[in-house]
A and B are shown apart, each in its own frame.
Chain A
Amino acid sequence: MKRVLGPLVALVALLALNRFLPTVLNPYYFQVLILVGINITLAVSLNLVNGFTGQFSIGHAGFMAAGAYGSAMFTVTWGQSLAAAMIAAHVPAPVAQGALLLVSLLLGGGLAAIFGYLVGLPSLRLRGDYLAIVTLGFGEIIRVLILNIDAVGGARGLPGIPQWANFFWVFLVATIVIALAVNLANSTHGRALFAIRDDEIAAEALGVDTTRYKVTAFVLGAFFAGVAGGLFAHYLSYLNPSTFTFLKSIEVIAMVVLGGMGSITGSVLAAIVLTLMPEALRAVKDYRMVIYALMLIVLMITRPQGLMGTRELSWAFLTGKKQGGRS
């Protein structure tokens, strides 16, 4: 019963908010809210690699780009005409667009996952800063490829993507990613990832297939980054390669580190804070990025383990009861 009721309540709540929010929030706030949702998905997906498994990847923007362009190209070439055909066949427009958006997101995520697999392979031999450099290179390769493929607009960007993503889809995906990450963390597979992060040699000696799990973490992380990219494309309806520079990767890493490596609630919290903060600081104009950077520095000095450490926000945590911590 609980298994059905929870998701159902969430679905209804999301649909209701999807109707209600645009009527009360001005478009600017609403767009910030959407970005919060997309960033939550990005941060949680990167946490699977950096936080759970301890593999330092700094190429997340590349996966996001692959997913964004992959899903956008599907929609522009086939999705749009398919949607038109479905609507002509009296399928309600939100249903037709939603279904095709879902297909495009899965395709974009799948494309990113393939890249994730390719990046995951060197992680078997490299660790620490060496791996970081490789992932950085890979992320840049993806961006430069896009920049040079004329069919996807190259440096001009890719305009004309239908705006099918809305509050409902963005936060549905964020909720699903969080739920899956929580399930993973509480499973034997999650423990295998944590074990790799804490001591790879011991994990291997205890029968954990470290090779398979590291690649799995990369594939899962890349898939969800790709889905986030797809949502980004279908919300802004325009893509440009310059969005996906390594600065974007750093932004997501900042969320994961600030939230606490391995903590899902930490990632969510930090994604919210780090998306809202630069917007809130617009009031101070020229000093915006200075203050933003200073706040990051101060936070890292005072809480080097991140906002949440490796803990999760739970009832026991809130009431101050001693808990072991899942990770």
Chain B
Amino acid sequence: MSAPLLHLDHVTMQFGGLKAVSDFDLQIGSGELVGLIGPNGAGKTTVFNVITGVYAPTQGRVLLEGRQVSGMKANRIACCGVTRTFQNIRLFPRLTCLDNVAVAAHQHRKAGLFSALFATPAFEKDEASLRARSREMLEVLGLGNHADSMATELAYGQQRRLEIARALAGGPKLLLLDEPAAGLNPQESEELMRLITEIRRRFSLTILLIEHDMKVVMGICERIAVLDYGIKIAEGSPAEIRANPKVIEAYLGEEAVHA
């Protein structure tokens, strides 16, 4: 097998005296849908921040298709094909939905700053294609009617979907979803699961997903890694995770019984 799409090679992230993530090792193959779970404060989002270059890991490396990306700037990593959504929604409040998505399409631009300043025909063409691409992403996420609304005018569930549309517009190979189902009602979660499955197929994505909603995690993930206090305590199929005593002890406890 060739190099995995994403390889977290014994990553440690330390903030002062606190080890948020400790010796975390994870490989994700191309096309996989992997879940990352764990109790609050387990270091899940820190893992995302390390992968996307918000932090450089204290120890270990992050490899994308065998190439080291840890230590690179966040925007460079995004251009390598890793985009994300945020746990606490981070849309651009003063931009329209279409523009929110178009910001991410930015990395596919061909026209430079000067052709933009003077609005040359080449620039106009480039801009039209960026807009078309962004509009397409809105359509895919069912937000086609909201292209010209301000991002903040959307309902909460729609804002979550707009974040996904925005992340998709970057044309990622690896999509990181940070609690996409947080705050959604059961029906919306149901819909989200269908949506994730669909975009994955349509854009042949690899997805790493942080989620607390066990129905979502167990329902769509093929493989799950469990973090507790920054340490990976288990990894395996949903069924294995459900049965793992360490996981039940750390976190799943009640849920596993009722699920």
Say whether A and B bind each other.
Answer: yes
A303 to B93, CA, bound (A): 19
| Contact (Cβ within 8 A) B79 A191 | no
Contact with B103, one of A180, A195, A262, A310 (Cβ below 8 angstroms): A195
| Contact (Cβ within 8 A) B95 A198 | yes
With A198-B92, A202-B86 known to touch, is A191 a contact of B107 (CB < 8 Å)?
A: no
With A183-B116, A191-B99, A199-B90 known to touch, is A206 a contact of B83 (CB < 8 Å)?
A: yes
Count of chain A residues with a beta carbon within 8 Å of a chain B beta carbon: 34
Contact with B91, one of A189, A202, A204, A211 (Cβ below 8 angstroms): A202
Query: A209 in the interface, Cβ–Cβ < 8 Å?
Result: yes
Residues 103-135 (chain B) with a chain A CB within 8 angstroms: 103-107, 109, 111, 113, 116-119, 123, 126-127, 130
Closest residue of chain B to A327 (Cβ to Cβ) is: B94
| Contact (Cβ within 8 A) B104 A207 | yes
Contact with B75, one of A197, A204, A310, A327 (Cβ below 8 angstroms): A204
Query: A57 in the interface, Cβ–Cβ < 8 Å?
Result: no
Contact with A210, one of B54, B75, B119 (Cβ below 8 angstroms): B75
| Contact (Cβ within 8 A) B102 A325 | no
> Beta-carbon contacts of B66-79 to A below 8 Å, as 1s and 0s?
00000001110011
| Contact (Cβ within 8 A) A207 B95 | no
With A192-B106, A205-B83, A205-B84 known to touch, is A199 a contact of B75 (CB < 8 Å)?
A: no
> Beta-carbon contacts of A297-327 to B below 8 Å, as 1s and 0s?
0000000000000100000000000011111
Query: B149 in the interface, Cβ–Cβ < 8 Å?
Result: yes
Q: Is the interface of A mostly helix, strand, loop or mixed?
A: helix
Contact with A207, one of B75, B117, B123 (Cβ below 8 angstroms): B75
Write out the residue numbers on chain A whose beta carbons fall within 8 Å of the beta carbon of B83: 205-207
A202 to B92, CA, bound (A): 8
| Contact (Cβ within 8 A) A206 B103 | yes
A189 to B102, CA, bound (A): 10
Write out the residue numbers on chain A whose beta carbons fall within 8 Å of the beta carbon of B116: 183-184, 187-190
Expressed in whole angstroms, the minimum distance between the Cβ of B105 and any Cβ of chain A is 7
| Contact (Cβ within 8 A) B118 A208 | no
With A188-B130, A198-B95 known to touch, is A205 a contact of B109 (CB < 8 Å)?
A: no
Write out the residue numbers on chain A whose beta carbons fall within 8 Å of the beta carbon of B149: 324
Residues 191-224 (chain A) with a chain B CB within 8 angstroms: 191-192, 194-195, 197-199, 201-211, 216
Query: B38 in the interface, Cβ–Cβ < 8 Å?
Result: no
Query: B22 in the interface, Cβ–Cβ < 8 Å?
Result: no
Write out the residue numbers on chain B whose beta carbons fall within 8 Å of the beta carbon of A327: 94-95
Residues 163-192 (chain A) with a chain B CB within 8 angstroms: 180, 183-184, 186-192
Query: B230 in the interface, Cβ–Cβ < 8 Å?
Result: no
Closest residue of chain B to A187 (Cβ to Cβ) is: B116
| Contact (Cβ within 8 A) B148 A324 | yes
Query: B167 in the interface, Cβ–Cβ < 8 Å?
Result: yes
Write out the residue numbers on chain A whose beta carbons fall within 8 Å of the beta carbon of B79: 207
Residues 126-178 (chain B) with a chain A CB within 8 angstroms: 126-127, 130, 147-150, 166-167, 170
A280 to B118, CA, bound (A): 37
| Contact (Cβ within 8 A) B105 A188 | yes
Write out the residue numbers on chain B whose beta carbons fall within 8 Å of the beta carbon of A324: 96, 98, 147-150
Write out the residue numbers on chain B whose beta carbons fall within 8 Å of the beta carbon of A183: 116-119
Query: B12 in the interface, Cβ–Cβ < 8 Å?
Result: no
Write out the residue numbers on chain B whose beta carbons fall within 8 Å of the beta carbon of A190: 116
A262 to B167, CA, bound (A): 25
Write out the residue numbers on chain A whose beta carbons fall within 8 Å of the beta carbon of B96: 324-326
Expressed in whole angstroms, the minimum distance between the Cβ of B50 and any Cβ of chain A is 13
With A191-B106, A325-B150 known to touch, is A206 a contact of B78 (CB < 8 Å)?
A: yes
Q: What are 29 of the A-B contact pairs (CB < 8 Å)?
A: A183-B116, A183-B119, A188-B102, A188-B105, A188-B109, A188-B111, A188-B126, A188-B130, A194-B99, A198-B94, A198-B95, A201-B54, A202-B90, A205-B78, A205-B83, A205-B84, A205-B86, A206-B78, A206-B103, A206-B106, A206-B170, A207-B170, A208-B103, A209-B75, A310-B94, A324-B98, A324-B149, A324-B150, A327-B95
Given pairs A191-B103, A206-B103, A209-B75, 6 additional interface contacts (CB within 8 A): A187-B116, A194-B103, A199-B93, A206-B166, A207-B78, A326-B96
